[in-house]
Amino acid sequence: MPSTDHRTALERTLRIRIDLPRGASFNFTTDSSAVTHMVASCTRRRARHKRMQDSHYRSALPVWLWSDFPNGLPPFLNIVRRSLSRHAPATRFVVHELNTSTIHNFIHDLPTEALAVASTSAAAMSDVVRTALLAYHGGVWLDSDLLLSQPLS
Protein backbone atom coordinates (compact mmCIF):
# COMPACT_ATOMS: atom_id res chain seq x y z
CA MET A 1 0.00 0.00 0.00
CA PRO A 2 1.50 3.39 -0.96
CA SER A 3 2.13 5.97 1.74
CA THR A 4 -0.48 8.71 2.25
CA ASP A 5 1.68 11.39 0.58
CA HIS A 6 2.45 9.11 -2.34
CA ARG A 7 -1.21 8.10 -2.65
CA THR A 8 -2.34 11.74 -2.63
CA ALA A 9 0.19 12.60 -5.33
CA LEU A 10 -0.90 9.59 -7.35
CA GLU A 11 -4.57 10.53 -7.09
CA ARG A 12 -3.72 14.10 -8.10
CA THR A 13 -1.85 12.72 -11.11
CA LEU A 14 -4.76 10.48 -12.07
CA ARG A 15 -7.37 13.24 -11.85
CA ILE A 16 -9.12 13.72 -15.17
CA ARG A 17 -10.87 16.93 -16.13
CA ILE A 18 -13.57 16.75 -18.76
CA ASP A 19 -14.97 19.98 -20.23
CA LEU A 20 -18.58 19.74 -21.26
CA PRO A 21 -20.03 21.74 -24.18
CA ARG A 22 -21.72 24.49 -22.12
CA GLY A 23 -18.67 25.26 -20.05
CA ALA A 24 -19.71 22.90 -17.26
CA SER A 25 -17.08 20.50 -16.03
CA PHE A 26 -16.58 17.75 -13.53
CA ASN A 27 -13.57 16.02 -12.02
CA PHE A 28 -13.11 12.29 -11.78
CA THR A 29 -10.52 10.70 -9.53
CA THR A 30 -9.67 7.08 -9.15
CA ASP A 31 -7.20 4.98 -7.24
CA SER A 32 -4.20 3.25 -8.75
CA SER A 33 -5.73 -0.25 -8.68
CA ALA A 34 -8.65 0.91 -10.81
CA VAL A 35 -6.27 2.50 -13.32
CA THR A 36 -4.12 -0.63 -13.41
CA HIS A 37 -7.23 -2.72 -14.05
CA MET A 38 -8.39 -0.27 -16.73
CA VAL A 39 -5.02 -0.34 -18.53
CA ALA A 40 -4.86 -4.15 -18.38
CA SER A 41 -8.42 -4.39 -19.66
CA CYS A 42 -7.66 -2.03 -22.57
CA THR A 43 -4.51 -3.97 -23.41
CA ARG A 44 -6.42 -7.26 -23.46
CA ARG A 45 -9.22 -5.70 -25.51
CA ARG A 46 -6.73 -4.28 -28.02
CA ALA A 47 -5.00 -7.67 -28.36
CA ARG A 48 -8.34 -9.45 -28.80
CA HIS A 49 -9.42 -6.91 -31.44
CA LYS A 50 -6.17 -7.38 -33.33
CA ARG A 51 -6.63 -11.17 -33.39
CA MET A 52 -10.23 -10.86 -34.51
CA GLN A 53 -9.67 -8.33 -37.32
CA ASP A 54 -9.41 -10.91 -40.05
CA SER A 55 -11.67 -13.93 -39.67
CA HIS A 56 -9.76 -15.87 -42.31
CA TYR A 57 -6.48 -15.24 -40.53
CA ARG A 58 -8.01 -16.59 -37.31
CA SER A 59 -8.69 -20.02 -38.80
CA ALA A 60 -5.79 -20.31 -41.25
CA LEU A 61 -2.17 -21.02 -40.42
CA PRO A 62 0.28 -18.43 -41.78
CA VAL A 63 2.92 -19.65 -44.21
CA TRP A 64 5.90 -17.30 -44.53
CA LEU A 65 7.84 -17.21 -47.76
CA TRP A 66 10.71 -14.87 -48.65
CA SER A 67 10.52 -13.76 -52.27
CA ASP A 68 12.77 -10.76 -52.77
CA PHE A 69 14.24 -11.17 -56.23
CA PRO A 70 15.47 -7.88 -57.74
CA ASN A 71 15.83 -9.40 -61.23
CA GLY A 72 12.40 -11.03 -61.25
CA LEU A 73 11.22 -14.43 -60.14
CA PRO A 74 13.41 -17.25 -61.53
CA PRO A 75 11.42 -19.68 -63.75
CA PHE A 76 11.95 -22.59 -61.37
CA LEU A 77 10.19 -20.68 -58.60
CA ASN A 78 6.98 -20.51 -60.67
CA ILE A 79 6.83 -24.31 -60.32
CA VAL A 80 7.45 -23.95 -56.59
CA ARG A 81 4.57 -21.43 -56.31
CA ARG A 82 2.21 -23.78 -58.15
CA SER A 83 3.14 -26.65 -55.81
CA LEU A 84 2.51 -24.36 -52.86
CA SER A 85 -0.95 -23.37 -54.08
CA ARG A 86 -1.79 -27.02 -54.76
CA HIS A 87 -0.49 -28.46 -51.46
CA ALA A 88 -1.27 -25.58 -49.09
CA PRO A 89 -4.96 -24.81 -49.73
CA ALA A 90 -6.18 -21.28 -48.96
CA THR A 91 -8.86 -22.72 -46.67
CA ARG A 92 -6.18 -23.87 -44.22
CA PHE A 93 -3.18 -21.61 -44.94
CA VAL A 94 -2.51 -17.93 -45.59
CA VAL A 95 0.63 -17.55 -47.68
CA HIS A 96 2.58 -14.34 -47.04
CA GLU A 97 5.22 -13.64 -49.68
CA LEU A 98 7.65 -11.23 -48.08
CA ASN A 99 10.33 -8.91 -49.36
CA THR A 100 12.34 -6.01 -48.00
CA SER A 101 9.50 -3.53 -48.54
CA THR A 102 6.70 -5.64 -46.98
CA ILE A 103 8.48 -7.16 -44.00
CA HIS A 104 7.85 -4.04 -41.91
CA ASN A 105 4.11 -4.73 -42.08
CA PHE A 106 4.64 -7.82 -39.93
CA ILE A 107 7.64 -7.02 -37.72
CA HIS A 108 7.53 -3.67 -35.95
CA ASP A 109 9.71 -3.71 -32.88
CA LEU A 110 12.88 -5.71 -33.36
CA PRO A 111 15.51 -5.18 -30.67
CA THR A 112 18.53 -3.12 -31.68
CA GLU A 113 20.79 -6.15 -31.27
CA ALA A 114 18.71 -8.12 -33.78
CA LEU A 115 18.88 -5.28 -36.30
CA ALA A 116 22.66 -5.12 -35.88
CA VAL A 117 22.95 -8.86 -36.56
CA ALA A 118 20.57 -8.63 -39.53
CA SER A 119 22.69 -5.96 -41.19
CA THR A 120 25.80 -8.19 -41.33
CA SER A 121 24.66 -10.49 -44.18
CA ALA A 122 21.66 -11.73 -46.14
CA ALA A 123 21.75 -15.06 -44.29
CA ALA A 124 21.77 -13.30 -40.92
CA MET A 125 18.86 -11.10 -42.00
CA SER A 126 16.94 -14.19 -43.07
CA ASP A 127 17.56 -15.81 -39.69
CA VAL A 128 16.41 -12.72 -37.78
CA VAL A 129 13.30 -12.25 -39.95
CA ARG A 130 12.34 -15.93 -39.75
CA THR A 131 12.79 -16.08 -35.98
CA ALA A 132 10.87 -12.86 -35.39
CA LEU A 133 7.96 -13.84 -37.66
CA LEU A 134 7.55 -17.25 -36.07
CA ALA A 135 7.87 -15.80 -32.55
CA TYR A 136 5.36 -12.98 -33.15
CA HIS A 137 2.85 -14.65 -35.48
CA GLY A 138 3.53 -18.40 -35.48
CA GLY A 139 3.00 -20.48 -38.57
CA VAL A 140 5.34 -22.22 -41.00
CA TRP A 141 8.45 -20.84 -42.69
CA LEU A 142 9.20 -22.21 -46.16
CA ASP A 143 12.36 -21.51 -48.10
CA SER A 144 11.54 -19.94 -51.45
CA ASP A 145 12.97 -22.90 -53.38
CA LEU A 146 11.12 -25.63 -51.46
CA LEU A 147 9.06 -27.77 -53.81
CA LEU A 148 6.11 -29.38 -52.03
CA SER A 149 5.29 -32.88 -53.23
CA GLN A 150 2.62 -33.68 -50.64
CA PRO A 151 -0.04 -31.65 -48.83
CA LEU A 152 1.25 -29.39 -46.09
CA SER A 153 -0.23 -30.57 -42.81
Q: How high is the pLDDT of residue 52?
A: 56
User: Is residue 89 scored above 80 in pLDDT?
Assistant: yes
Q: How high is the pLDDT of residue 121?
A: 84
> Between 49 and 126, where is the model more confident?
126
pLDDT in tens, 48-76: 656 555 554 556 889 998 887 777 778 88
Q: How high is the pLDDT of residue 31?
A: 46
pTM exceeds 0.85 for this model: no
Q: Do 125 and 132 meet the contact criterion of CB atoms below 8 Å apart?
A: no
Q: Binning pLDDT at 50, 70 and 90, where does residue 119 land? A: confident
Q: How high is the pLDDT of residue 75?
A: 86
Q: Binning pLDDT at 50, 70 and 90, where does residue 141 land? A: very high
User: Is residue 20 scored above 50 in pLDDT?
Assistant: no
Q: How high is the pLDDT of residue 67?
A: 81
User: Is residue 120 scored above 60 in pLDDT?
Assistant: yes
User: Is residue 12 scored above 70 in pLDDT?
Assistant: no
The CATH 3.40.50 domain(s) of the chain lie at 55-142
- Tell me the pLDDT of the chain averaged across its residues: 73
pLDDT in tens, 25-34: 444 444 445 4
Please tell us whether the domain made up of 55-142 is placed in CATH 1.10.357: no
